[in-house]
Structure 1
Amino acid sequence: MPTSSSSASSTVAPSLASPSLTTWSLPGLALTDVRVPAPLDHTDPSGPHIEVFARVATAPGGEDRPLLVYLQGGPGSEAPRPSAHPANPPWLSRALQDYRVVMLDQRGTGRSTPVGLDTALPEGAIDVVAPPGADHSAPATLREASPSQQADYLSHFRADAIVEDAELVREALGARTWSLLGQSFGGFTALRYLSAHASTLDAAMFTGGLPALGPDLDVVYETTWQGMIRRSEAHYARFPGDRDRMRRLAELAAAGRLVLGDGELVGVERLRRLGHLLGASGGSEKLHYLLENEPDSSVLRHDLAAALPFSGRNPIYAVLHESCWADGVAMDWAAERTMPEAVRADATLLAGEHMHREAISEDPELAPWAQAAGLLAAREWPALYDPEALRAADVPVAAAVYYDDAYVPREFSLATASLLPDATCWVTSEYQHNGLRASGEGVLDHLIGIVQGTRVA
């Protein structure tokens, strides 16, 4: 690894001229913070640049271990902040037995140049005409940009760009190759990595994140809707009183009377997204404990706000959520278009990670992104994956495929895995979509055993 600086890390402008490494420590961990400049548009290296941040965690005595880069789920969420006592994330202690672990803040998140309405943009990223009397020396922001400018800027934050950023981090760390661990959307990114840069990979491990390829993505959403109907009915069979409680909340939402702790109103379709809890281990219990509170209680109002997905904290998660699937197509609000009539007619049938325009327009923090989100939904995206490159990617691959995954259906994951020449799928009903975290060390230990040849699926 290149020599690192000894000074404490600090925020730097996106115009950082060269990679920067800073070392520090926590009890049981040595940490190296890495900052690299990256083109906003990797097809235009001379254009505006952003900054990409990653943190390398190393266990005592593990300085010579190979690198494993963790690709976070989302899109639009930063990497976990590591600790050793207790291990955070829970699988980290197992990973550190064999690897140094690279926690990458994907572009637009965390300490990488973030996406936000008021975040200073790289110089030259957009051409904003300042109003008379404005401070012309102040950097431009997306709040000042038109919806088309916002959409164009956000078009550079998909998996293809994240992979190219990761390659810059790998080079900054002086590594010829490394391995991948991709959770959910991180698996989409890992598959793009195999498609574009298989030669720099030692192995790739997927947890709930082998996506469908090709243009027919409506069928994926149709499948996940049917899965959510089954999950909703199973929840109400387990907690019979919850259906009436959910119906009461939906009636209040329809009447404009369902209020969060800060006074914000919640509509029916945004409320329906509570179903995302049912895609994780323990989620049904969380939903039940939420619903057993009185609708007009402060507890319900605040806990409902915390439980709803697609918040203004991570705007990429809402605005680019469907686009992260797009493999050479426009998504055109696929989840909304494919919603079954049975779901439209019954507000107690819940949604998972099904983006809906109302989920953006109702949230005061997301509403300013609504027009850009519409433009991105209509955008014809370039292909993310090259099937021929995947067939030639001679890299050991191990994938945890959850039998009843709420978000990445099993049948599509297995079809994609069949393209890879050295892929082993471990199909399990023991875990839900959050199995990597919920299992502690279990899921990762199984996958490491597969890629190392010490365990079969």
Structure 2
Amino acid sequence: MTSGNQSKGVSQAEGLQQSSWTRGGLHLKDVTFEAPFDHFGGGAAKSAAASLAAPVSDKPQGPSSIEIFARIVATEADSQKPYLVFLQGGPGNEAPRPTTPVGGSTWLARALEEFQVVMFDQRGTGKSSPIGSVAGRITGLDAVGDDPADIAEALSHYRADSIVEDAEILREALGVDTWSLLGQSFGGFTALRYVSAHSKSLDEVYFTGGLPAVDTDPVTVYARTWEGMKRKSEQYYRAFPGDREKLSHLIDLADSDDGIALPGGARATKERIRLLGHFLGASDGPEKLHYLLDQDLTSAAFRHDLAAALPFSGRNPLYAIIHESCWADGGVTEWAARRAMPDDVQADPTLLAGEHAGPESLTEDPELAPFAEVAELVAKREWPRLYDVDALRAAEVRGGAAVYFEDAYVPAELSLATAELLGGVKPWVTNEYEHNGLRADGYRVLDRLISLARG
């Protein structure tokens, strides 16, 4: 056993490259494996879920395979505990990197009491063939070429359906018949796809702020989240009465001279400033927004902090490019959040947005600008269905779902409608937490869901 960040060597079993190490009382195993780039056609072997996600085009796009990275975390070497797969929010974010010792009040501490935890870098993120842009050039998709249409086609293989098939390869390689899931936000969307496509591979499934709408136009979803953000905006200004005037002044600055110049060459116009409302979706977010606006708006410090505060950045480009597609259970998104914007929000830019991406998120950021034309093509794409309602009703998986009553991003009423399809998953509706409940009070949230699932 090693006591620090030291490799115990690399082994290869069942197609996995593995290395193990120990740190802070945690035993970690890093694994990489190859998965088909296209699980559903284009020359790759078709999966059992192929009927749910028939490709729009038979033209192969991208490489034949893609490298996927995952980290398995346990409290002892050679653990025999069952596996729990953590599916993180996003899309487009890599898995968290565990840094805390065993114990504490985190969801990971609770999970490790009875599970080994599998943390995936979902394809295109982290160490799983990451996608980005460097010096104005798209990286991570070299095999696709430079044609925006080809890149847009390739990005159709980065949704929840492909992520689930990647996970199935690892499950089989580890030699386990079933494992359990914990899906946070977009990770819950991925978990629901898993139930729809491979319920027999699952023991338990837990959702935190991530039960998506099924067979629902994304415009309908975003219309509801706009109404929620209107309420949260007004609540914020009641809590911090002077901040509406500060934000209005900031918007005036953004409306002049082609936007506020930010470090790195990015600019922020009115609609990007509106996205500061994403703070209001977290329990500690209102205070963070207030402290940001409390700075001198003309200072360099403020501009650096503003750049860091805006969502949809070049750090995780998939978040901006395919974000709306995660809601697309069939159909075309076509900038659904912008199309759903109410007239009163359009007229009053101090009514803030959450995860309401628009084209300017790409065009005003030089790191995202190479993807701007690609994003327009993705927005026009006809998406296949993600969920099979009959399969969801038939699934015998038990679990629990935290449905946050005031969730800024996943409307509670739509989550509860989906929960009705899952006979073994018990919802817990609460206003104790915002969308970040798993981060804010993870031990208690996961413990409550485990208790619900097991009666």
Same fold (TM over 0.5): yes
Query: What's the CA shift string for 1:347-387, capped at 9, x where partnerless?
Result: 11100000111111111111111111111111110000000
Equivalent residue for 1:42, pick from 39, 44, 48 = 39
Unaligned runs of 5+ in 1: 10-15, 129-144
Query: What's the CA shift string for 1:268-312, capped at 9, x where partnerless?
Result: 101110000000011000000000111111221111111100000
Equivalent residue for 2:321, pick from 315, 319, 322 = 319
1:21 aligns with 2:15: no
| CA distance in 2 between partners of 1:7 and 1:422 (Å) | 42
Counterpart position of 2:162: 161
Query: What's the CA shift string for 1:226-285, capped at 9, x where partnerless?
Result: 110111111111111100100001000000352223453211101110000000011000
Q: How does 1:248-327 map to 2 (within 5 A)?
A: 248-256=249-257, 258-327=260-329
| CA distance in 1 between partners of 2:405 and 2:185 (Å) | 14
| CA distance in 1 between partners of 2:16 and 2:441 (Å) | 36
State the Cα distance separating 1:116 from its structure 2 match.
2.1
| CA distance in 2 between partners of 1:35 and 1:96 (Å) | 22
Counterpart position of 1:170: 171
Asked if 2 retains the 8 angstrom alpha-carbon contact of 1:83 and 1:89, the reply is no
Asked if 2 retains the 8 angstrom alpha-carbon contact of 1:67 and 1:99, the reply is yes
| CA distance in 1 between partners of 2:242 and 2:223 (Å) | 28
Counterpart position of 1:225: 226
Q: How does 1:408-423 map to 2 (within 5 A)?
A: 408-423=410-425
Paired AA for residue 193 in structure 1: Y
| CA distance in 1 between partners of 2:304 and 2:104 (Å) | 26
State the Cα distance separating 1:423 from its structure 2 match.
1.6
- Structure 1 pair 121/220, CA: closer, same or farther in 2 (3 Å)? closer
1:109 aligns with 2:125: yes
Aligned residue pairs, count: 425
State the Cα distance separating 1:87 from its structure 2 match.
6.2
Counterpart position of 2:207: 206
| CA distance in 1 between partners of 2:102 and 2:424 (Å) | 35
| CA distance in 1 between partners of 2:173 and 2:105 (Å) | 25
Equivalent residue for 1:357, pick from 347, 356, 359 = 359
Query: What's the CA shift string for 1:65-111, capped at 9, x where partnerless?
Result: 10000000000000000133276992111110010000011111101
Q: How does 1:56-205 map to 2 (within 5 A)?
A: 56-60=72-76, 63-85=79-101, 90-117=106-133, 118-121=138-141, 125-126=143-144, 128=145, 145-205=146-206
Unaligned runs of 5+ in 2: 1-6, 46-62
| CA distance in 2 between partners of 1:264 and 1:192 (Å) | 36
Identity, % of aligned positions: 57
Equivalent residue for 2:334, pick from 328, 332, 335 = 332
Asked if 1 retains the 8 angstrom alpha-carbon contact of 2:14 and 2:173, the reply is no
SS at match of 1:432: coil
Equivalent residue for 2:409, pick from 399, 407, 410 = 407
Counterpart position of 1:391: 393
| CA distance in 2 between partners of 1:86 and 1:236 (Å) | 40
| CA distance in 1 between partners of 2:441 and 2:283 (Å) | 10
Alignment RMSD, CA only?
2.0
State the Cα distance separating 1:120 from its structure 2 match.
4.5
Asked if 2 retains the 8 angstrom alpha-carbon contact of 1:71 and 1:190, the reply is yes
Runs of 4+ in 1 over 4 A off after TM superposition: 86-89
Q: How does 1:423-438 map to 2 (within 5 A)?
A: 423-438=425-440
Asked if 1 retains the 8 angstrom alpha-carbon contact of 2:403 and 2:429, the reply is yes
State the Cα distance separating 1:325 from its structure 2 match.
0.7
SS at match of 1:328: coil
Paired AA for residue 76 in structure 1: G
Asked if 1 retains the 8 angstrom alpha-carbon contact of 2:217 and 2:328, the reply is no
Query: What's the CA shift string for 1:409-449, capped at 9, x where partnerless?
Result: 00000000101121200000000000001013110111111
Paired AA for residue 206 in structure 1: F
